[in-house]
Amino acid sequence: MGNFFSDPVEQALEYIYYNERAGRGREGVELLGKADLQGDGDADCILARCLCGSEYVWSGHGFPVKKKEATKMLRRSVERGSQIGVLVALHNGELSLEQTPISSLQDAFAIVLEKAEGGDAFCQYMIGNVYFERDFLQIEGKNEDSFDIPVEYKDYLRENISKCEEWFQRAFEGGMHLAANNLNRFYLQGDGDIILPQPEKAQELWKTGAERGYPCHQYIYAQELAKAGQKEEAFEWFKQAAEGGEPYAWYEVGRVYLEGDGVEQDAAYACQCFEKELPWRHVASYNLLGKAYFEGDGVEQDYEKAFRLLQFAYEESNKGNRKNNWGVYFLGKCYFEGWGTEQDYVKARQFLEQMDWEYEDAYYMLGVIYARGRGVQEDIKKGVTLLQKAGTHLGAQEELLRYRKTLFGRWVRR
C-alpha cells in the first residue's frame, strides 16, 4: 500500500470507492480524518468529495452533505500541496486562477497523470474529468483566441475531449463506478458539434457495472430489466443491489414480496425490507410500512407508528412545489378517529379532501364532518350528499337515518 498516496488515503479509497459492497465507507472517512490531522492534503480532498453528495461519492455510504465544510476542506487541501486537490478545486471553481500560475496547474496535472498511468483508478477518473469537463483549457492556458482559425480550435477540442473515454474506461475497470456515470453522459450527449453522441456504446454500461458488483449499477440495470418486462432477472439484481447497500433497492425487493409478484407473498418480510430503507428517507417505503402498521399487515397493528411514518412521508414528499397525496386517506382516518394522534376533525377534513379517488369510507367521514358540523360550519345537505356517495358503507347508512328531508326539500336533523 502507499504506491500513490499515503497508506491511510489508499485504504480509505479502497473502502469508499473500490469496494463499496463491504460497507466500510465510514471507516474510510475515519482514516481520512486522522490523516487530515497529520496534515495530509490528499485526505482533505477526498473528505471534501465525501461531503458533496451522490455526484462525487456513492450515496449508499450515507455520508452527510455539508458543502460549506467541503469547500473549506478543499481549499485546505490545495494549501497543503495536494495535486488532486488542485484539479478538483479547479473544476469546482474554488481555485483562484489569478493567483495560480499556469505552470502550477500543469505540474499538478502531470503528477496526477503519472499516477493515473501507473494504474490508480481514482486518478484515472480525475484525468478523465479534466478532458470531459474541458478543464484542460485552463490547465494549458488556451482558448479560442489561441488558434488562427476556428477549425483548428475545434480539432484541438475534439482531440482532447475524446481522451476522456479511455481514462473513464480504465477507471471503471479499476473500481470507480462514478467513471461509468460520466462515460454514460459522454456517450449519450456527446459534446455539442464537437463530438456526436454514441448511444450504442452506452447500452451495456450498467450491465457491465452490475456484473462487476457495483450496487448502484445493479440497481439501475435492474430497473432497465423491469421496464423491459424481465421481472425475474430484475428481481435478482434488485436483491444483489440491496444486499450491497444500494439505497431504495430494499423497497423494490419489499414491493415484490408484498404483492407476491413472482414470489410467494410474504408481508412480514416485505415490512422488514421497507424498514431497512427508513434511514434513507425513502418516501415509498415510509408509505407502505405506514400502511402495514395501520392495517396490521405483516406487523402488529400500531396506529401511532402508522401515523408517524405516513405523516413523515406526506411532509417529505410535499416539500417545495411537489404534490403527493398517497397517504392522505390514512392520515385523515387517524385524525377522524383519534388513532395514533389527537382527534382533529379540521385536519381530518383537510387530508380527506385531498383524495382524488373514490372511496366509501372517505365519503362517510366527510359526510359526518359536514352533517354534524365537526370542525366546519354545519352543512347537512352537503353531508347527506357525501354519505349517499358512500354507498353500502354501514356507518354511512346508519348516519343517514339521523336526517330527513322536509316537504320543502330541506335536509334537517331528525
Which of these, 298, 299, 334, 300, lies nearest to 314 by C-alpha position? Answer: 334
Q: What are phi and psi of 370, to 5 degrees?
A: -75, -40
Cell of 232: 425475474
C-alpha distances (whole Å) from 21 to each of 8, 15, 135, 175, 283 are 19, 9, 32, 11, 24
Name residues of the chain where pLDDT drops below 70.
Answer: 1-2, 98-99
Model-wide pTM > 0.85? yes
Q: What tens digit of pLDDT does each residue of 188-226 get?
A: 999 999 999 999 999 999 999 999 999 999 999 999 999
Residue with cell 353531508: 383
Estimate the crossing angle of helix 41-50 against helix 67-79, to 10 degrees. Answer: 160
Q: Which residues pair with 195 in a beta bridge?
A: 191
* pLDDT in the model for residue 2: 56
State the cell numbers at 42: 490528499
Residue type, 127: I
Q: Which grid coordinates are listed for 234?
A: 430484475
